[in-house]
Structure 1
Amino acid sequence: MISRDTIMVYVVSAIVFLSIVVYLYYRNIYSFWRKMGVFNIEPEFFFGNAKDRVLFRKSFHEFHRDIYFKFKGHRYAGFYVGRRASLVILDPEIIKCIMIKDFNHFTDRQTMRLRTSKYITEMLINLKGSKWKKMRSQLTPSFTSGKLRTMEHLIDICCNNMSDFLNDNIKSENGFKPYELEMKDFFGKFTLDVIATCAFGVESNSLTDVTGGFASRVSKFATLSITKRLSLYIIILFLPGLARFVPLSFFNMKVIYFLANVIKEAKSYRMSTGQKRNDFLQLLLDSESNPDNKNENKQNEDSLTEPQIVAQSVLFLIAGFETSSTLLTFTCYELAINQEIQIKLREEICSILDRYNGKCTYEAMQEMTFLDMVLGETLRMHPPVAQLERVCTQDYMIPDSNLILQKGTAVQIPVIGLHYDPEYYPDPYKFDPNRFSAEEKASRHHYVYLPFGTGPRNCIGLRFALMSTKRGMVHLLKNFSIELSNRTTVPYIYSKHSMFLKAQNGIWLSFNKLNTS
């Protein structure tokens, strides 16, 4: 019979042996960039170079901005997220090659093969190779100038609802009083109403709905419990091979299924009534697989399945919500701080509208160049996403170097670092719309400004997002002044628990009625 002491010796020996194996394994992994001759910062055991992010010591935006400046002076540098090696690209010319010139080597995004719903796996952002290319080409017609112009009157309805809501709340017995709001919540409701109306024919006025309505449900799409969030981090960093067996998602699946039901109901209604609308959902429905083709050996290659239709619709809602509401929030934040810029912008808007009989036409919007400059500078200082990531799909030699990236290697582009680099943007913490005058843009490298990405895999809905944002700002500024409130935090503190741009305590501002007499 084996004694207790012998068992303890075996156990301790096994633990020591496994510890040595794990140590040597990670030591070998963490020598990858050194062996390749690539500059890198010494990684920490288990965490690689991502410890501050994994432990929520820094926000996603702060983390990637700091990484950029740690690597500043190098064209590219090695980086480890857990045990996964990736290459951080700082040189704008290399960024141009990856995103445009040599895009065929970097067609895919980094995705986790989690065991989740087809409503997630079939989203455009998660598709790869030819499957992505086919889906992208089918969705692109929804975002042409002609299509967008047909939606202008629908956006204006939502803008008028927003103005009416503010007017009703600014009124008091003694005339007018400032009305304080948390901007992300306010603009989140407005943005979701715009998308629901324009893209899916779902009428919603979330600002006046006491239950929060459609927006209240959808805005929680990224809300996950701490347990689920930590589980995802552990899998991503240490056990990526197990991802396909784990029933987890980066999205709140209750919200995803709610959206799926809304879209299915809209689809069912249109099919039963024969109604057709000139919107995003209709384009997808027109591409749906024909059930009468069951006896054919092969369905139309361009047809979509119901899960694909729902997946793209859900993505459109979520991506549009996050991009537009964030841009509106931080534009108002900067205008409240920089009153002289707000006044100048209002003067431009009112002057142009006067020439168009007060109507916010497509032609009037095209003339609002200072508005474009203000939004451009807002996106520079407050980009919705902090970094872009691509995966090398075939071996690739970095231009003007001897470094060959192997197929499957991830590359990162730290957008927020580029946006705050004084080499490209002197005094980068100053809000200065003049950086986006035609002359300034022409003198600057085109690939140091990437709020929506660039190239074939850029944000497909960026034109819709900018159109709805611009019209929303016009309706606000012609009627209201935007001011700091007692609850405004300047500068705001980044939320450490969100991958998207979010202020820890919210962005609180006040609206006041302009005296137009």
Structure 2
Amino acid sequence: MWIFYFPAVISVLIVTLYFYFTRTFNYWKKRNVRGPEPVVFFGNLKDSALRKKNMGVVMEEMYNMFPEEKVIGIYRMTSPCLLVRDLDVIKHIMIKDFEVFSDRGVEFSKEGLGSNLFHADGETWRALRNRFTPIFTSGKLKNMFYLMHEGADNFIDHVSAECEKNQEFEVHSLLQTYTMSTIAACAFGISYDSIGDKVKALDIVDKIISEPSYAIELDMMYPGLLSKLNLSIFPTAVKNFFKSLVDNIVAQRNGKPSGRNDFMDLILELRQLGEVTSNKYGSSASSLEITDEVICAQAFVFYIAGYETSATTMAYMIYQLALNPDIQNKLIAEVDEVLKANDGKVTYDTVKEMKYLNKAFDETLRMYSIVEPLQRKATRDYKIPGTDVVIEKDTIVLISPRGIHYDPKYYDNPKQFNPDRFDAEEVGKRHPCAYLPFGLGQRNCIGMRFGRLQSLLCITKILSKFRIEPSKNTDRNLQVEPHRGLIGPKGGIRVNIVPRKLVS
């Protein structure tokens, strides 16, 4: 008899699920905020949730759909969020009213690396930021420069040897070998050679962490659930790897700072303090206990930030130099001139001295900002200045650097690689929020100067010895990899690296 009721039960179930997964989809209409039409279950993220497109690309597309709107109402799965387009509103959120939007709003297990500096919120973030900012001062970077330089020389030797066999390279993975060595040396005090058989392990970790898990979508649909269930967005194997790495280094240094002034020395100083406070940013003092989980989480985020983002940015820059030989010629001339004036030596100061090189790097980050989108969470209700829109407490606010960086309102012919956009006069004409590769305000990228320095050093070394040319396999219409959490080239980037002495 039940078989006669089965279709009715299924129909009721389908209708119930439909209404459940669309229950929030009138949120923005009720508030007269325009936005793209959501679809059942996925909201506006169907392509990214199914890994057809990178999240950053999806956000850029939605940014472009409503060119006259200051803000766009969207749905990350079933959660209403706000995509901000207007630069003045962005300035309020990221800088002027930072205290309302100081949190990123990505909560997950503290034991599962959730207390890292990038993801941490509230007083935990303030305490960590307070303590870790000093490691990236100019003085500390100058002290680390010799380690970067050693890694760059080893990298150039490796490329020279490989060029004798084949001049075509997949440069993204190639450059990861350089950034791996510099972050290992500068952060953990491990020389490239001593990593040895750990290289394969690091590659495994990279594959795991660079592909977003569906835990991200679960957090979007049910904000705070991962934290409540003590779940992480990263596999246990990643946590175990970094815990083992930290434990081994701490044991090698007998639990005391070694005098290298690197990341691990700072960790050991924190262990000796026992706890750190967060009163630097004007909040009431709150202490954070430096547990093994906290230490492991910082090791993880420092490694990933220094390893992946710089390698990807350099790969994109090399790609553009291959396609724009006139720009490459100007860069090579500048590198040769500066090195000649400094007895062939590349120093901390000479890297900063190369103005055209720095402009080319900035233009690369305009075209290929790596972390997309920028995300903040409202800690209280907030009325957007100049509008009737109220951002309710706990609402996620998103910003699309790609959308802004490719907006012809701010950059003429935005798909053209043009370092001259970053002449001082041109920069001065633009809105301060029209360039966002490192974020803005107090929660900008803490390691941006480190990443810039290690990248420019490597590019300088490459251009002093080689030319970059398109190969027969160079993709002139690069796509963004949909499976990676960060922006990166789908299928890699293939170019020829040709020793300059062989070029007529």
* Residue among 234, 238, 242 paired with 1:259: 242
Q: Is the 8 A contact 2:151 2:181 kept in 1?
A: yes
Matches within 5 A, 1:11-50: 12-50=7-45
Q: Is the 8 A contact 1:217 1:255 kept in 2?
A: no
Q: Segments of 4+ in structure 1 off by > 6 A?
A: none
Matched residue pairs, number? 493
Looking at structure 1, the residues matched to 260 and 148 of structure 2 have their Cα atoms a distance apart, in angstroms, of 15
Looking at structure 2, the residues matched to 100 and 184 of structure 1 have their Cα atoms a distance apart, in angstroms, of 34
How far 1:514 sits from its partner (Å)?
Answer: 1.3
TM-score normalised to structure 2 length? 0.91
Q: Is the 8 A contact 1:489 1:507 kept in 2?
A: yes
Looking at structure 2, the residues matched to 64 and 273 of structure 1 have their Cα atoms a distance apart, in angstroms, of 46
* Larger CA Rg, structure 1 vs 2: 1
How far 1:237 sits from its partner (Å)?
Answer: 5.0
Q: Is the 8 A contact 1:143 1:463 kept in 2?
A: yes
Q: Is the 8 A contact 2:407 2:414 kept in 1?
A: yes
How far 1:497 sits from its partner (Å)?
Answer: 1.6
Give the alignment's Cα RMSD to 1 decimal: 2.5
Matched with 1:507 is 493
How far 1:42 sits from its partner (Å)?
Answer: 2.0
Matched with 1:281 is 264
Matches within 5 A, 1:333-412: 333-412=319-398
Matched with 1:296 is none
Looking at structure 2, the residues matched to 26 and 170 of structure 1 have their Cα atoms a distance apart, in angstroms, of 55
Q: Is the 8 A contact 2:318 2:468 kept in 1?
A: yes
Cα deviation 1:144-166 (Å, max 9, x = unaligned): 11111101111000000011111
Looking at structure 2, the residues matched to 27 and 359 of structure 1 have their Cα atoms a distance apart, in angstroms, of 62
Looking at structure 2, the residues matched to 516 and 355 of structure 1 have their Cα atoms a distance apart, in angstroms, of 24
Opposite residue 314 of structure 1, the aligned amino acid is F
Q: Is the 8 A contact 1:148 1:464 kept in 2?
A: yes
Cα deviation 1:24-57 (Å, max 9, x = unaligned): 4444411100111111222112121112222233
Opposite residue 287 of structure 1, the aligned amino acid is L
How far 1:255 sits from its partner (Å)?
Answer: 3.4
Percent identity of equivalent pairs: 33
1:254/1:283 CA distance change after superposition, 3 Å? same
1:166 paired with 2:159, answer yes
1:312/1:291 CA distance change after superposition, 3 Å? closer
- 3-state SS of the aligned residue for 1:456? helix
Q: Is the 8 A contact 1:119 1:310 kept in 2?
A: no
1:154 paired with 2:147, answer yes
Q: Is the 8 A contact 1:166 1:179 kept in 2?
A: no
Opposite residue 461 of structure 1, the aligned amino acid is G
How far 1:284 sits from its partner (Å)?
Answer: 1.7
Cα deviation 1:294-337 (Å, max 9, x = unaligned): xxxxxx94652222122111110011112111111101010111
Matches within 5 A, 1:228-247: 229=213, 231-232=214-215, 235-236=218-219, 238-240=221-223, 242-244=225-227
Matches within 5 A, 1:249-328: 249-271=232-254, 275-289=258-272, 301=287, 304-328=290-314
1:211/1:181 CA distance change after superposition, 3 Å? farther
- 3-state SS of the aligned residue for 1:390? strand
1:234/1:456 CA distance change after superposition, 3 Å? closer
* Residue among 168, 176, 179 paired with 2:167: 179
1:274/1:74 CA distance change after superposition, 3 Å? closer
How far 1:198 sits from its partner (Å)?
Answer: 0.8
Opposite residue 222 of structure 1, the aligned amino acid is I
1:12/1:423 CA distance change after superposition, 3 Å? same
Which range moved further: 409-418 or 264-273? Answer: 264-273
1:391/1:380 CA distance change after superposition, 3 Å? same
1:222/1:82 CA distance change after superposition, 3 Å? same
1:256/1:204 CA distance change after superposition, 3 Å? farther
Matched with 2:62 is 67
Opposite residue 441 of structure 1, the aligned amino acid is V
Q: Is the 8 A contact 2:317 2:361 kept in 1?
A: yes
Matched with 1:51 is 46
* Residue among 315, 321, 333 paired with 1:329: 315
Cα deviation 1:241-287 (Å, max 9, x = unaligned): 65346675433432332222112111111126873321111012101
How far 1:347 sits from its partner (Å)?
Answer: 0.7
- 3-state SS of the aligned residue for 2:192? coil
Structure 1: tracts of 5 or more residues without a match: 173-177, 293-299
1:458/1:159 CA distance change after superposition, 3 Å? same
1:98/1:107 CA distance change after superposition, 3 Å? same
- 3-state SS of the aligned residue for 2:433? helix
Q: Is the 8 A contact 1:221 1:256 kept in 2?
A: no
1:219 paired with 2:206, answer yes
Matched with 2:281 is none
Looking at structure 2, the residues matched to 205 and 483 of structure 1 have their Cα atoms a distance apart, in angstroms, of 30
Matched with 2:280 is none
Matched with 1:175 is none
1:198 paired with 2:186, answer yes
1:144/1:288 CA distance change after superposition, 3 Å? same
Looking at structure 2, the residues matched to 180 and 333 of structure 1 have their Cα atoms a distance apart, in angstroms, of 12
